[in-house]
Structure 1
Amino acid sequence: MAIKEKKVQNYGENPIEVRDSDHYQNEYIEGFVEKWDELINWQARSTSEGEFFIKTLKEHGADRVLDAATGTGFHSIRLIEAGFNVASVDGSVEMLVKAFENATRKDQILSTVHADWRWLTRDVQERFDAVICLGNSFTHLFSEEDRRKALAEFYSVLKHDGILILDQRNYDLILDEGFKSKHTYYYCGENVKAEPEYVDDGLARFRYQFPDESVYHLNMFPLRKDYVRRLLHEVGFQDVTTYGDFQETYHQDDPDFYIHVAKKD
């Protein structure tokens, strides 16, 4: 029987020149996806974020939710267990396979769709009460055209009065002062290192090292908070509230992450 050769991440001769919205498909290889849950640590993350997303969705009367960046299924499964009706979308087939496996182990069945946000309505014709795009996923889009197109697609699949919840790293802090993540809320894995290897105004290249010494990378665009808020307004969202590490008074501290809650009015 032939042994299947394991795929490896390939950034070519100059990794910091790889600034392409489509490259994420080559980044989330099977080996990295298999270790993703070590990085997240579901129990620790569940404890740290508490009921923030569940409470926010309920406050806006949401029932049918599109999880646009399903990953390994953490938020899709949490929301299903909380009583929401969830459709799970991701651009990575490997991630969707892992998410489905994770859900099965928790006696849940995910409704999965493999889709690219930029052409979301090509694969998703339904309208939703809410769209969530979490896990710093929006930062995979490298051009403003791609970001505007994706946000317009999110807007399009929302019902009137629907909300988009989108999160991002605090790249303002990384760009202006350097990296000093507390890992308190998002990446809670024990003995897993996630830190930027290279940063400029157009690229944040993160290095992920796991306890078995395996190393993976992600090339992402360092989105500034006010820039994202401006794009949300320009695409048509009327009301945008920004939280820092699940607190609206984010300016008192230097949060690891920002969460934008944008309403379609």
Structure 2
Amino acid sequence: MKDTSLYFYNELSETYHLIFKNWPETVQWQGAFFDKFIRSLYAEGHEGPIDLLDASCGIGTQALGLAQHDFTVTATDISPNSVERAKREADKFGVHVHFGVADFRTLDKDVPGQFDVVLSADNAVPHLLDDQELSVACRNFYEKLRDKGLLIISMRDYDEILQNRQRSTLPRVMDEGKRIVFQVWDWAEAGNHYITNQFIMQELDGSWKTEVNSTSYRALLRTELSAILEEAGFTDIRWHMPSESGFYQPILTARKL
């Protein structure tokens, strides 16, 4: 399947916040969540700010929230339009973040230095559609971490989704019925790949406007990602399920020792 993620996020950059009921509140919540989550696993005995690379920052949903806590944040994304939007949002939030454009597959060349934590949240890694791309990205995550550094990845629960090849998400109705958001998934006939069609419908000035953007994903099983991370050199690979963590997606953590 064609890599469509760059076009998808460039086109969605100005309306991405509409996927959330209240995006600024989501930024605050995710910042507080990941601050607590990271410190529970990494920062015991750590003095001073934590250097963190958000390697799929989008418009800043995680990066901006973490910058409000004691983190020195570098935030990159494959989409230049999303990074520009994130810069504007950082000014509104009054936080300082080092921004850049970078691809998982060339992260070793695109981003200088190493970090205490590398984060990729909200199902970005499954945009890598084959094992070769995924292996390159995981090696780059490893290279970007300092010794004893922590990798954090969140993604959809594809182990559950593949049991019945889910076809859509339930519509979420917001703004007193004036905004509806949902996805329709078109599965490939063979393999665990699908196209997400993201619908954002809004009533504006008495008429409805519909925006549809599409991108490709791999329905990545937890065992598949864990095996590739182990090959890249990571240890202590763990999965934290929503019932345990309180986050809305499974979270993987792994360490560079």
TMscore range, shorter length: 0.7 to 0.9
Instruction: State whether structure 2 residue 192 is matched by structure 1 residue 202.
Output: yes
Q: What TM-score, normalized to structure 1?
A: 0.80
**Aligned mates of 2:92, 2:143 — CA distance in 1:** 33
Secondary structure in 2 matching 1:176: coil
Q: Is the Cα–Cα contact under 8 Å of residues 64 and 85 in structure 1 kept in the other structure?
A: yes
**Aligned mates of 2:30, 2:9 — CA distance in 1:** 24
Q: Is the Cα–Cα contact under 8 Å of residues 31 and 64 in structure 2 kept in the other structure?
A: no
Q: Which amino acid aligns with 2:54?
A: D
Structure 1 segments unaligned to the other structure (5+ residues): 1-18
RMSD, aligned α-carbons = 2.6
Q: Which amino acid aligns with 2:94?
A: D
Q: What TM-score, normalized to structure 2?
A: 0.83
Return closer, same or farther for 1:246/1:158 CA change in 2, 3 Å cut-off. Answer: farther
Which residue of 82, 86, 90 corresponds with 1:95?
Answer: 82
Instruction: State whether structure 2 residue 134 is matched by structure 1 residue 153.
Output: no
Which residue of 39, 42, 45 corresponds with 1:58?
Answer: 39
Return closer, same or farther for 1:214/1:25 CA change in 2, 3 Å cut-off. Answer: same
Q: Deviations over 1:154-190 (max 9, x none)?
A: 1011011100001111122222123275799xxx996
What does 1:158-237 align with in structure 2 at a 5 Å threshold? 158-179=145-166, 191-198=180-187, 201-212=191-202, 213-237=210-234
Structure 2 segments unaligned to the other structure (5+ residues): 203-209
Q: Deviations over 1:213-261 (max 9, x none)?
A: 221112111101111111111211110110122626x9xxxx9622101
Percentage identity across paired residues of the two chains = 24
Which residue is 1:16 aligned to? none
Q: CA deviation at 1:57?
A: 1.8
Secondary structure in 2 matching 1:77: helix
Secondary structure in 1 matching 2:66: helix
Higher strand share: 2
What does 1:18-97 align with in structure 2 at a 5 Å threshold? 19-21=1-3, 23-30=4-11, 32-40=12-20, 41-43=22-24, 45=26, 51-59=32-40, 60-61=42-43, 63-97=50-84
Q: Is the Cα–Cα contact under 8 Å of residues 122 and 249 in structure 2 kept in the other structure?
A: no
Q: Is the Cα–Cα contact under 8 Å of residues 139 and 220 in structure 1 kept in the other structure?
A: yes
